[in-house]
Chains A and B, each alone.
Chain A
Amino acid sequence: MEMIKNFFKTFLLLELVKGMALTGRYFFARKITVQFPEEKTPQGFRFRGLHAQRRYASGEERCIGCKLCEAICPAMAINIEIAERADGTRRTTRYDIDLTKCIFCGFCEESCPVDAIVETRVLEYHGEKRGDLYYTKTMLLANGDKLEEQIAGDRAVDAKYR
């Protein structure tokens, strides 16, 4: 019985027809390929991309060097050194994130008591050399300065869920 069934299956190229049917269905269906970079997918306001360090409206950097982000970072990508600034406040003298180590878990952002370190929606950054992805405090602050509006907007949307 089994033998006869198999014979007809092979003889009538049933598998092939099934496969072709699937191909045919997709051939005529609506296309979803995104023509990156001309076209982009939609992004949520919680997207976790490139890091930035924020400032207050006064221009003062937010980060107080508490080292919580450094402590929580599971990839040990953050490297902070701190010192007392001339005005007696606690500040970082070095704040580096190694993006080749970072796993974009967002824990640093979560742990930060002053919303200083954030992950922005930016995902289009690259480095030509390995070292290019080692972000220093100046680079991170520059990111923050550039993207503050968007960062603040996203956080405002998120505020009621936090």
Chain B
Amino acid sequence: MINVEIDGKRVEIEAGRTVIEAAQLAGIYIPHFCYHKKLSIAASCRMCLVQVEKVPKPVPACATPVSDGMKVFTSSEMAVKAQQGVMEFLLINHPLDCPVCDQGGECQLQDLAVGYGATSSRYGEEKRVVLHKDIGPLVSAEEMSRCINCTRCVRFCQEIAGQMEMGQAFRGEHAEIMSFVGKTVDTELSGNMIDLCPVGALTSKPFRYTARNWELSRRKSVSPHDGLGTNLAVQVKNNRVMRVVPIENEEINECWLSDKDRFGYEGLNSGERLTRPMVKQNGKWQEVEWQVALEYAANALSQVASCAGATEVGALATPHSTLEELYLLQKLVRGLGSDNVDFRLRQADFSADGKRAGNHPHVNLPAEGEGANASSRVAGGEPRKFLPWLGMKVAEIGTSDRLLIVGSFLRKDHPLLAQRIRQAVKKGAQANLVHSADDDPLMKVANKAIVAPDAMANTLAQILKAMATEKQAATDASLKGIEVGGAAAAIARSLAGGERVAVLLGNFAQQHPQATQLQLLAQRIAELCGGKFGFLGEAANSVGGHLANALPGAEGMNAASMLAAPRKAYLLLHAEPELDCANSQQALSAMYAADLVVALSAYRHHAVDYANVLLPVAPFTETSGTFVSTEGRVQSFKGAVKPLGEARPAWKVLRVLGNLLNVAGFDHDSSEAVRDEVLGGMDIPAKLNNALQATTQPSALSPQPSGLQRVSDVPIYSADAIVRRAAALQKTRDAEEPRVAMRGDDLEKIGVSAGDRVKVTQGENSVGLVAAADDSLPPGVARVPAGHAATVGLGAMFGNVTVERA
């Protein structure tokens, strides 16, 4: 710690920090453009010039390290003159037409020109013109003449997003910021450049020329998309969401937003929104009053329950629903006498159900554990239901030094978590991957094992065995006969050398048909190396759904069995079964076969064909609610706008349905009351526990040779109902029509070349797709995305498929 004096104020700061950071500490603002706390230092704009005692010339505060006893003057005559001079230079080539500029009113250059510039310009010559660029559907680079070449955008792509997609070409006066010639910027974090750009050079394309920032009101909200719980500021005008910007929260999203969070709002204003309750009569949809629709739904439901038996009623909710909605849904279904309710729609392996409690049975565990979950084991008494979560705080991911990420399309499923891991890797952490596809995570990967889905458990067992050797621990019988491969040994070595190890299961691993086995193995790996183990939550309420108990008990049917053995009546909460469920064809045929489908949805979706009642409910901006993020953080939010048309918050709809069905305990008059009923007195940290009472099945570890295996990712902009309808996101590269990708030699074997149309068959279903070659895939797999309209014709996300020439 050293002492620095800034404008006469003394501050204490670590050596090695810069003058601008010291000034911030002292509460003194130094004007700046190119400096950003999360980016490296460029010192190119020179706006931050200050005077330092005994230094003859002004120095840039952002690039000058502090030294003991340093005296800095930020508003001395020299500093002010320097700042004014820089401002004059900046404005020489800058168009002076803020009124047409979309940044006007929230522009750093505008603000600083007022604060530090002269009142009029001395420059009368011609100004430089930089042609506009097209860098994709999200970020507008229409006004590149406004660019002040601070290179924040360039540094962002390189350092935070992990790939250099923007750059500065040419020199001196001709310097231009651009993407690679003819290329768009495709990172899933691209929208952050809009916030970073201090001028109006890079602006939001969908928002461009629609409103001014001073007419927008700012409402706090929480992202409904991935499990991170990103903090959003929803900006509203005339009861319409105009755009979404981040709220800084160092523990969650830092100052970033993924494009999904930022541009997803367009889906809220989509023309597909359902605005009036509808009932199907004689095959025709009729718009009706809420009372009529609700009574119809209640009568029909109770009729099915009383005639065919309550177990014929099943409820499916998406994990993007709020805690309150999920809680009331399960309460309603249970009130009807059924236990068939689930929110884990894309999960295939439910063998962990009922086993998430009590002591860990593994023989080879250390008796008194350094293991992550050892301390919270239940010592007798009532079995507590544990629930899968991240296993650590989000911020801890950034400080781990060894990571094993199993089965995750990391960048697309968890853009901001991927960003955190990228920063950790930069600081020296080693990332190890086990997966069935080799998408570039845009970070240095220490070791990876890319294997077919059925070999994943085996690969983890190899790592476990190698780890046991590293740690000189005993292995149990189930690991006999496992042969440790080179990649597995390297991964084990890497993990064993770490102090803060994190083993994380991604969406793919959670959707895997052997998910429980994968979890057991991964967990044992983590325990052996004294690391933490957790799940990367797929959706906003992947943890909340467990807290709300929106999953079947011992008697009930889970999301998969409810569709495998079709029910007579379904209650859908936000769900579009053919896109949100693991097995799209099965889901669809179950819906068509059902006598009654009551769909609570914000959108007019496929249910129009098979549902009997459509109840328009509000998406997250139009209702109050709670999301429990993957790290177990409970975040409640209020509605930002009024529900569109006659849509109503789903918790209210469910409450009234409960009343109409005479179920007890439906008398809440606010979503807060529902939340308090769920969470009141609940010891959430004690519940956040991944412990599992199950044993490894040796059969899972020895894959039988089988045909071509399907590997499915859910494309980033198909993952939930809102992003599916976000117009600009749907124009990005990530939203391109899905293809079936295979290794080049696998394609050759069936006589198909990349670009050909092929027929993909899974069981009895087939769809036509275009083939693509991807040599990074393991042999014997075909990558066919799920959750997309083009592949709804297929079955489960895993399993065998055949690909042939169409």
Residues of A within 8 A of B (CB): 64-68, 70-71, 82-84, 88-90, 113-114
Contacts and interface: CB of A to CB of B under 8 A. Distances in A.
Contacts of A68: 99
B104 A84 contact: no
B209 A67 contact: no
Contacts, number: 29
A67 to B, nearest CB: 5
B134 interface: no
A89 B97 CA distance: 13
Contacts of B212: 67, 71
Nearest to A68: B99
Nearest to B214: A71
A89 B208 CA distance: 11
A139 to B, nearest CB: 22
Contacts of B99: 64, 66, 68, 113-114
B142 A82 contact: no
B209 A83 contact: yes
- Describe B's contact surface by its main secondary structure: loop
A83 B100 contact: no
Given A66-B99, A67-B215, A113-B99, A90 B104 contact: no
A83 B102 CA distance: 11
Contacts of B209: 65, 82-84, 90
Interface centre among A64, A65, A67, A70 (most CB of B within 10 A): A67
Contacts of B121: none
Contact of B142 (A88, A113, A114): A88
Contacts of A66: 98-100, 104
B704 interface: no
B593 interface: no
B210 interface: yes
B100 A82 contact: no
B211 interface: yes
Interface in B51-106: 97-100, 102, 104
B133 to A, nearest CB: 14
Contacts of B102: 90
12 contacts: A64-B99, A64-B100, A71-B212, A71-B215, A82-B210, A83-B209, A84-B208, A90-B100, A90-B209, A113-B97, A113-B99, A114-B99
Task: Name which of A64, A70, A84, A114 has the most chain B CB atoms within 10 A of its CB.
Answer: A84
Contacts of A65: 209
B214 A83 contact: no
Contacts of A84: 208-209
Nearest to A88: B142
List 9 A-B pairs, minimum CB-CB distance, nearest first: A66-B99, A84-B209, A113-B99, A90-B209, A67-B212, A64-B100, A90-B100, A82-B209, A64-B99
A108 B212 CA distance: 17
A83 B142 contact: no
A90 B97 CA distance: 12
A64 B95 CA distance: 15
Contacts of A90: 100, 102, 209
B104 A82 contact: no
A82 B214 contact: no
Nearest to A82: B209
A130 to B, nearest CB: 22
Contacts of B211: 82
A68 B215 CA distance: 11
B210 A83 contact: yes
Contacts of A70: 215
Nearest to A67: B212
Given A66-B98, A82-B211, A90-B209, 14 more contacts: A64-B99, A66-B104, A67-B215, A68-B99, A70-B215, A71-B212, A82-B209, A83-B210, A84-B208, A84-B209, A88-B142, A89-B100, A113-B97, A113-B99
B209 to A, nearest CB: 4
A66 B211 CA distance: 9
Interface in B182-233: 208-212, 214-215
